Amino acid sequence: MKNFEDYLSSLINLDFSREERAGKPEAIFGEGKPVEVILRIAEEYKKAGKPALFTRLNKEQMEALRAIGAEINEIARTAVFGKAEKVLGRVAILTAGTADISVAEEARVTAEFLGLEVLRFYDVGVAGLHRILEPVKTIREKKVDSVIVVAGMEGALPSVIASLVDVPVIAVPTSIGYGVHLKGISTLFAMLQSCPSGVAVVNVDNGFGAGVFAYLISRVKSR
């Protein structure tokens, strides 16, 4: 057993200084990692007294981390130990449909872990455009630092939101759609072609990347 533990330790090279160096802490991507490695990483974070965020976990990984005290979000497939000590800023997260919520929840968990207050508005896509009226009003009143917009299909919602708000819009294409949607590539291209300015686009299903981007906007603004 000791040899196996030594072997696991040799596989792990954690970057505890990333936050001081790059302004954001390391996060652990779960896909492809054995449960034993995930648990060893969690132990190292606990030993160092550092908060930790795990993303893209499977059910076995989530249950193992839940058993040692992690806060689990099964929709987002995330696990969290600890979080930022203070609120740094505010972000709004919108989804076009309910099928996009898992990606939006990954963004929410990430943003809250990093110290943002999150306003959520789900299922407000362009198929019923009237649904964005109340979210846009709230976004203006609450003075958010940025808006994350998560959408599949034709990916129109970020462009619509960017035409109505005066803060950066972070567009997240999802792998939700029919046929030539190509698992999100069509949506990605559509978002990159956004007519309104002020839209930045992250990769398909990358809620984590959107959450980090929103955090960095708030972090720079708060200086």
Instruction: Spell out the per-residue pLDDT of the chain, length 223, in tens.
Output: 456 666 666 777 888 888 888 888 889 999 999 999 999 999 999 988 889 999 999 999 999 999 999 999 999 999 999 888 888 999 999 999 999 999 999 999 999 999 999 999 999 999 999 999 999 999 999 999 999 999 999 999 999 999 999 999 999 999 999 988 999 999 999 999 999 999 999 999 999 999 999 999 999 998 8
Q: What is the Cα gyration radius of the chain?
A: 18
- Domain ranges for the chain, please list them: 2-81, 89-221
Distances in Å between the alpha carbon of 18 and those of 163, 197, 211?
35, 31, 17
Q: Note the CATH number of domain 89-221.
A: 3.40.50.1970
